[in-house]
Amino acid sequence: MSQPGEHPINRVREVQTPLKILLLAAEVVPFAKTGGLADVAGSLPKAIRALGHDIRVAMPRYGRISPHRFNLMRVLDPFPVPMDDRSEQAELMQTSLDGDVPVYMIENARYFDRDCIYMYPDDAERFIFFCRGMLEAVKRLDWQPDIVHCHDWHTALIPNWIKTIYAHDPFFENVASVYTIHNLAYQGIFGYRVLEVAGIDEYGFVVHPDTVDLNEVVDFMGRGIFFSDVINAVSETYSREILTPEYGEKLDPLLRDRRDRLFGVLNGIDLDEFDPATDSYLEANYNLESLDQRVHNKLSLQREAGLRQDPHVPVVGIIARLTDQKGLDLVTSTLEAVLQHLGAQFVLLGTGEQRYHDFFSELSNRFPEQAGIFLTFNASLARRIYAGSDLFLMPSRFEPCGLGQMIAMRYGSVPLVRAVGGLADTVSDYDPVSGNGTGFVFTTYDPMALYTSLVRAVETYRHRDIWRELQVRCMQQDFSWEKSARKYVELYNRARAFRAQDRTA
């Protein structure tokens, strides 16, 4: 049986015809961000543009996005968006990513002029409005995309609409859809009512004999998977894992049905944005040639975190949403031993579930000189942790791609990860015999397995030369978007071919 990872998509090839691509996401850096989705939506388009394609981005204009700061210009007169049996007015604003990629923002004060991006009772309606509004907007702009590239549940109804209510609209006749899954754990599940809001109630529920729990709800993620021409999960390993009940979040039967449409293009990181040689948030800039300078970042991080300043104590860093996904229960059950027996220092940055807030606050009270805890979100401190820590911990239960380990490696912090999803695809285990590897990798989801690899890492850290070689190998890894952008372009072409084939079928 063919695995998604073995698909010909992984043979990179230059694509000649420029494509028109509309990429829609609920969050995009630098305008709005809660997680990795925003990083991807803000950096992938630049790389696709660099390959010569006309890619444009669309997102809602949240109240927090300052029209002044981002130079927003109105590009369309207010226009109606069909919602339920009425219509709502939308406005279309435009700005750009680095002056390069056009960014459209759908505006409507009632839906988007709020403090946060999500977590409102009417989220389904808000994102239906954004997506439907954008489809109506491109018609008015008379800019006909070849591809709509949707991300996560918020934009997942677009492929559904294209194949139902817009099926006979000549404007969308040749528009193919690509749906990227960033995290199957957030599916956007709602009741029947949203089908009416979205204008697709006449088609009813999507029913699958093996996803019984989901047959009488509206699962946005499931619909994206069901209706899109091509599906992408953000790493090869994740694209295989989600075919199993363990990682499939109840959608694995549907994903197995569509496995010939499922691919796993790995995310990249923005190498200009994340560059220790130029990062203005750091105490000292450095590169491979001036790696000795890195220690100044470590000492200043220790100061900032209230830890004892000592260049020789290993500093373990974590930057994460404090949720189960990130393997924090493994961390909470081993951390005390790590501090007491291994003598390491620990720095954590992130927000999330209350029980983790409680645990880590209490820990910092008990180990004030060894544990620096920041229960907040702070982009500049994040950079200083990447640059000042020796080890970067990501013991995730599951990890679709993971960007932190790639950034850490670029900054010379050696990753310690669990072999799942994108972590398995980007970090290889250090082998003291051959001297190969870029980090420390464990497999079993178990505190002892984490602890054992920490022991191994801390022991390796004592050997300065070996550690230096490990850091250099990490910093030499190529996580640029270019490779992945070429694979995405190939996916776009594949989606067009599937679309043409399905329409004649």
Q: Which residues contribute to the site for ligand GLC (CB under 6 A)?
A: 35-37, 40, 182-183, 234, 267, 399-403
* Closest CB 433 distance from ligand GLC, rounded Å: 31
* Closest CB 7 distance from ligand GLC, rounded Å: 19
* Closest CB 125 distance from ligand GLC, rounded Å: 24
* Closest CB 367 distance from ligand GLC, rounded Å: 29
Looking at beta carbons, which residue is closest to ligand GLC? Answer: 36
Tally the residues of the chain: 505
Rounded distance between C-alpha atoms, residue 39 and residue 22, angstroms? 17
Nearer to ligand GLC, 72 or 423 (CB): 423
CA–CA distances in Å: residue 503 to residues 9, 498, 499: 22, 8, 6
Nearer to ligand GLC, 162 or 234 (CB): 234
* Closest CB 41 distance from ligand GLC, rounded Å: 9
The answer to whether 495 and 177 have CB atoms below 8 angstroms apart is: yes
Nearer to ligand GLC, 102 or 400 (CB): 400
* Closest CB 389 distance from ligand GLC, rounded Å: 19
Nearer to ligand GLC, 249 or 399 (CB): 399
Region of 402 (left: φ > 0; alpha: ψ -120 to 50; beta: rest) is left
Question: Which DSSP string corresponds to 192-205?
Answer: THHHHHTT-GGG--
Nearer to ligand GLC, 413 or 484 (CB): 484
Nearer to ligand GLC, 188 or 400 (CB): 400
Nearer to ligand GLC, 108 or 267 (CB): 267
* Closest CB 401 distance from ligand GLC, rounded Å: 3
CA–CA distances in Å: residue 106 to residues 92, 113, 180, 434: 5, 11, 21, 54
β-strand partners of 441: 417
Nearer to ligand GLC, 367 or 479 (CB): 479
- CA 218 from centre of chain: 23
* Closest CB 84 distance from ligand GLC, rounded Å: 31
Closest CA to 413 of 291, 253, 279, 260: 291
* Closest CB 363 distance from ligand GLC, rounded Å: 25
Nearer to ligand GLC, 302 or 405 (CB): 405
- Cα angle 184-187-188, degrees, rounded to a multiple of 5: 160
Nearer to ligand GLC, 271 or 299 (CB): 271
* Closest CB 50 distance from ligand GLC, rounded Å: 20
CA–CA distances in Å: residue 442 to residues 327, 433, 456: 12, 18, 11
- CA 305 from centre of chain: 27
Find the farthest-apart pair of alpha carbons in the chain and give their distance in angstroms, rounded.
69
CA–CA distances in Å: residue 160 to residues 176, 206, 223, 224, 243: 11, 10, 7, 7, 22
User: Which one-letter amino acid corresponds to residue 101?
Assistant: V
Closest CA to 454 of 322, 318, 349, 357: 318
The answer to whether 407 and 349 have CB atoms below 8 angstroms apart is: no
**How is residue 351 annotated by DSSP?**
-
